[in-house]
Amino acid sequence: MLDINFFSNQLFLAGILIIFVATAVAAGVPWRRLDKKWIIVLPVVDLVGLVIAREGEPLLGTTFLLVFPIIWLSTHFGGRGALGGVVFTSAMLWAAGLFRTEALPGSEIPRLASVTIVLAFVAATTHTTTKRAAAQRVLLTQQSVLFEGALRRSRREERTLDEIFNAIDFGVVGFDRDAKPNLINRAQREMFSRFGAKADQLGFIDAYHEDQVTPLAEQDRPFRRAMRGETVDRVTVWLGEQGKQQTAVLVSARPILDENNNYDGGVLVVRDVTAELRAIKARDDLVASVSHELRTPLTSIMGYLELALDDDALDPSTRRMLEVASKNSDRLLALVADLLATAAAAKHELAMSPASCDLSVIVTDAIESLRPVAAERDITFVLSALPTVRLQADAFRLRQVIDNVFSNAIKYNVASGRIDVTLVDADTQIELRVTDTGRGMSPGEQLNLFDRFYRADSVRGSSVHGTGLGLSISRDICRQHGGDLRLESALGKGTTAIATLPRTS
């Protein structure tokens, strides 16, 4: 408890009054209108009041209160405030001690020195801490600005992505590691509603193979596979119950991995290809129907042309015209045969009759039959001794492939060109390579080579005839045998056709 006799000490009372008056006056001063430097008056007046109060009652502990104005000066006025506050306070303390009427006690000098040291330490610590805090505030402010900017960009990108996903006409479904959807765009929601399914019931929609009859096993459905974290690459399925309106969709899915390469959900893309598949089916049906209708009259025309050409009484000009008609009838019949084969291949009805055959004999016979055609343009076949290659395959269909490859090598070759033929019998597969010295193809022309009815722009308007069906049919035949057909080409450097067949076929 504060002894009331302290207030009879004039110095102590004067110091306390200075502090209280300064505090009262400070409450009424409009500091916002004044420059910041005028605030220094308050801690300085407090220091003066505290030093005066200490001189009145040295043992009361007023000295410890000097720390607070020093902290104030160090915090708000930086290094100059810290240094000035310590120097000013120490000067007042030492001056008051030195100018006392009575002599200084022996213990007062160390006490004044320790006060000076403590105040200097407090000022230095406060100044350092304040600078560090200010630097951290600046850094936090910069980071806050950067974070707010990144957040705004992220939100804008999120809105943009939402608009993009909702604008596209194919379904997109995102799901987490627990197979719960977290993103469904407008097109996918419309598809859900078409089947009466909810957002989390994608895997429960009836799904069928491409024949629209055979149901897909539950575990084989692309939606289930995607939910298990598998990669699904362009799988076509039919959705909807049999006997009702069904929808064909092309499904692709990719898993999403976190920073530790662990499964963290995935994304599923579903595109409605019903119209495309039905258009292709309608085209194939039309091609097959027209081809069947054309074959009968063509056969009759060719028969009568042969009979007419057998007449020895024909004059040369009439015979020449009939021969042209017969040649073009042969071409037209070959076109009809290609169309029928294409339609059959599209329906997976290409008849195969595997039997033991020798591929080298098939290749040799094909070369012999096409030598007259090649000789018309002075094109020569170059082949080394072909090994005997016996295999179980449909010799008629393989002859179709080889005839088509050789015909292309002749048609698209240069005059006086060359066709190199090699047959390699390896342990696991048989490879037939046919290399011509023709014009070759650009990378762009090679993209759609095996599409039905495709012909490159560079040859479409030329005198080289073709339907754009041969390569497609030939590749289908090779694949049905378990092999494949591919082409390697460079513009101006010719083309190499590579047909492969499994050794066990």
The pLDDT tens digits for 131-154 are 888 888 888 889 888 999 898 998
Average pLDDT over residues 65-72: 84
Same fold, 171-272 and 278-346: no
Percent above pLDDT 70 for the chain: 83
Q: Given a cut of 70, is residue 204 above it in pLDDT?
A: no
Fold type of domain 355-502: Heat Shock Protein 90 (3.30.565)
Cβ-based neighbour number of residue 314 at 10 Å: 14
What is the rounded CA–CA span in Å between residue 83 and residue 90? 11
Dig out the tokens for 6 from the structure: 């302290």
Per-residue pLDDT tens for 14-40? 777 887 888 788 777 887 787 777 888
Per-residue pLDDT tens for 182-193? 888 888 887 777
Confidence class of residue 52 from pLDDT cuts 50, 70 and 90?
A: confident
Distant-in-sequence, close-in-space partners of 351: CB < 8 Å, separation ≥ 6: 344
- CA 121, 122, 123, 128 dihedral sign is positive
Percent above pLDDT 90 for the chain: 4
Cβ-based neighbour number of residue 105 at 10 Å: 11
Averaging pLDDT over each range in 143-147, 211-215, 303-307, 468-472, which range is the top one?
Answer: 143-147
Fold type of domain 278-346: Helix Hairpins (1.10.287)
Fold type of domain 171-272: Beta-Lactamase (3.30.450)
What is the rounded CA–CA span in Å between residue 380 and residue 387? 21
- Average of per-residue pLDDT values in the chain: 79
Return the HEC string of 146-167.
HHHHHHHHHHHHHHHHHHHHHH
Q: Which pLDDT value is given to residue 461?
A: 47
Q: Cβ-count burial of 341 within 10 angstroms (0-12 exposed, 13-18 middle, 19+ buried)?
A: buried
Q: Which pLDDT value is given to residue 339?
A: 67
Confidence class of residue 328 from pLDDT cuts 50, 70 and 90?
A: confident
Higher per-residue confidence, 145 vs 328 = 145
Q: Which pLDDT value is given to residue 131?
A: 86
Per-residue pLDDT tens for 80-132? 888 888 888 888 877 776 666 555 565 667 777 887 888 888 888 888 888 88
Q: Which of 159-163, 274-278, 362-366, 465-469 has the lowest mean pLDDT?
A: 465-469
Average pLDDT over residues 448-462: 61
Q: Given a cut of 60, is residue 199 above it in pLDDT?
A: no
What is the rounded CA–CA span in Å between residue 401 and residue 188? 43
**Distance between start and end Cα atoms, the chain:** 111
Please tell me the pTM assigned to this model.
Answer: 0.46
Q: Given a cut of 70, is residue 446 above it in pLDDT?
A: yes
User: So where are the chain's domains?
Assistant: 4-138, 171-272, 278-346, 355-502
Cβ-based neighbour number of residue 445 at 10 Å: 17
Per-residue pLDDT tens for 394-423? 888 888 888 889 988 888 888 889 999 998
Average pLDDT over residues 207-219: 79
Q: Given a cut of 70, is residue 455 above it in pLDDT?
A: no
